[in-house]
A and B are shown apart, each in its own frame.
Chain A
Amino acid sequence: MASYQTNEFRSGLKILLDGDPYTIVENEFVKPGKGQAFNRVRVRNLKNGRVVDKTFKSGESVEAADVVEMDMQYLYSDGEFWHFMDPSSYEQYAAEAAAVGDSLKWLKEEDVCMVTLWNNSPLLVTAPNFVELTITETDPGLRGDTAQGGVKPAKLETGAVVRVPLFLEQGEVIKVDTRNGEYVSRVKD
């Protein structure tokens, strides 16, 4: 079984703690004068997203988690699973609702997103930072009001609802930041 020594710790490294996969967020090497050295590590549980602090005696080993992150194409959902394909091997993976989580509302068929595999099965699906989606429902646009003013809700083709400027019309394509769910700009043809 692969393992890492504390001196290989760096952010992004995937390790196994108490049977769960974690990613290292921050690693600080601390050493008092001539005393025992420690690694103070902040880790994120990849299953539930919780961030916790851990201390390691420098020189300890930790089991590596078999976690890989891959760009995959979203194919379709059958209602129970969301299906993704590795475009280089054409291998398909089925992700459960828990793995897809909030990314669900940004996924459009054929879009490419990042899938985190743990022991070769999807653990987490991360939508691209920016997506371009068509507005399917919104109040009629206010002509001429392109400079400033209020916002209104708009429903997108994936079902997500975002707040957009008043001048936008149904059928227009907009760019959205999936990390905060905010409208970025109108996409012109």
Chain B
Amino acid sequence: MTESDSWRPTAALEVLRLRAAMLSRARAFFAQRDVLEVETPVLSIAGTTDPNIQSLTTRVSGFPGTLYLHTSPEFPMKRLLAAGSGDIYQFARVFRDGETGRRHNPEFTLLEYYRLGMDHHALMDDVAELVGCLLGDEHGAIACRRMSYRDAFMQAVELDPMTADRALLLETLSRHGVPLPVDPLSAAQLTDLIMATLVSPGLGREQPCFVYDFPVDQAALARIRAGHPPVAERFELFFQGMELANGFHELCDQREQRRRFAQDNALRVQEGLPQVTADERMLQALDSGLPDCAGVAVGFDRMVMLAAGARQLSEVLAFAILRA
């Protein structure tokens, strides 16, 4: 590739046509179900506190302080739900700093949607239909598997992630020849490394596979179900070893949500990351009453990758970051 070619798209035009067709199919899918398409702001005075997601920031003349570019449209969409919008969806271009790779681009398209009265299992059924509509056969169907987070680990590495201590996690990584970083990792980070290197590459080889009921320290914005052990009512969808979606039976408890934001910011301090202003307006919305619902973020670009048989995200983006 010569420098004089750098004006050209990173995606083939036929892939862009496929992408456009998939966008209209998804919109028809939601129209059929009476789910309302919405748009929420890219800029916000609050950002995500998640220590593993870094926001880009900017300023706008006449407004005090820093504005965050959204990493997901989740918070304003929950404000719409609390305001009585009913089922909603959005195609959102979101931004995450430091995420560039074969399957990552710092800006990408999330298809985020919420269904009232559903829990994470009912939403998995619904997502399976959406995947069928986007990647399925001529009838728009695709058979999906479903497996708990614990079983996914047991099958791949014979390890119970709910009870394993640091020593066992380290032993599992070394037994499978995964080298460790120089910096010491917490038990949660070791679990993430096992998931990323040893478990997820084998998930959904033949057919899409939902992984559900996550450890509580990975609850993010999901509710926690009491039990032995307690689990977070969260799911992820994998197909051909690639993560495609992340969903929650949404946490509605304002106090618990506030506690998690504070805990995230405490972790950020430990990791030497800047603290992030928690979204007070979203917390107020929870306080005024978020209807019982489940929500999911679907990586739309990755769906297109699978439909197009692309090896890298750049092949489905008109202009990936290096040509932006």
B279 within 8 A of A: no
- Bound together, the chains give a CA A139 to CA B7 distance in angstroms of 56
In contact, B183 and A31 (Cβ under 8 angstroms) = no
In contact, B181 and A33 (Cβ under 8 angstroms) = no
Interface string of B183-203 (1 = CB under 8 A from A): 101001101110111001000
In contact, B181 and A32 (Cβ under 8 angstroms) = no
**Given known contacts A32-B243, A33-B246, A57-B189, A38 and B181 CB-to-CB distance under 8 angstroms:** yes
- Bound together, the chains give a CA A29 to CA B102 distance in angstroms of 7
Minimum C-beta distance from A20 to chain B (A): 15
Chain A interface size band reads 20 to 34
Minimum C-beta distance from A174 to chain B (A): 32
**Given known contacts A37-B99, A38-B196, A59-B98, A29 and B183 CB-to-CB distance under 8 angstroms:** no
A110 within 8 A of B: no
- Bound together, the chains give a CA A179 to CA B226 distance in angstroms of 63
Which residues in A have their C-beta under 8 angstroms from that of B195? 32-33, 35
A188 within 8 A of B: no
Q: How many residues of B contact A (CB 8 A)?
A: 32
Which residues in A have their C-beta under 8 angstroms from that of B180? 55
- Bound together, the chains give a CA A34 to CA B185 distance in angstroms of 16
In contact, A35 and B179 (Cβ under 8 angstroms) = no
Minimum C-beta distance from B236 to chain A (A): 5
Considering only residues 38-62 of chain B, those with a C-beta below 8 Å from chain A are: 50, 52-53
In contact, B53 and A30 (Cβ under 8 angstroms) = no
Cβ 8 A contact of A60, one of B52, B177, B183: B183
**Given known contacts A36-B189, A54-B179, A55-B178, A30 and B218 CB-to-CB distance under 8 angstroms:** no
Chain A CB count within 10 A is highest, among B178, B189, B196, B200, for: B196
- Bound together, the chains give a CA A31 to CA B200 distance in angstroms of 10
Which residues in A have their C-beta under 8 angstroms from that of B236? 33
B182 within 8 A of A: yes
In contact, A37 and B179 (Cβ under 8 angstroms) = no
Cβ 8 A contact of B104, one of A31, A40, A60: A31
- Bound together, the chains give a CA A27 to CA B103 distance in angstroms of 12
- Bound together, the chains give a CA A31 to CA B185 distance in angstroms of 15
In contact, A36 and B179 (Cβ under 8 angstroms) = no
**Given known contacts A37-B98, A37-B99, A30 and B197 CB-to-CB distance under 8 angstroms:** yes
**Given known contacts A36-B52, A38-B181, A55-B180, A31 and B218 CB-to-CB distance under 8 angstroms:** no
Chain A to chain B contacts (Cβ below 8 Å), 25 pairs: A7-B98, A28-B102, A29-B101, A29-B104, A30-B196, A31-B99, A31-B104, A32-B192, A32-B195, A32-B196, A33-B218, A33-B243, A34-B53, A34-B218, A35-B52, A35-B195, A35-B196, A36-B188, A36-B193, A38-B181, A55-B179, A55-B180, A55-B193, A56-B182, A60-B181
A interface residue numbers (CB < 8 A to B): 7, 27-38, 40, 52-60
Q: What 8 additional pairs, Cβ within 8 angstroms, besides A29-B103, A60-B183?
A: A28-B102, A29-B99, A31-B99, A34-B220, A52-B179, A55-B193, A59-B98, A60-B181
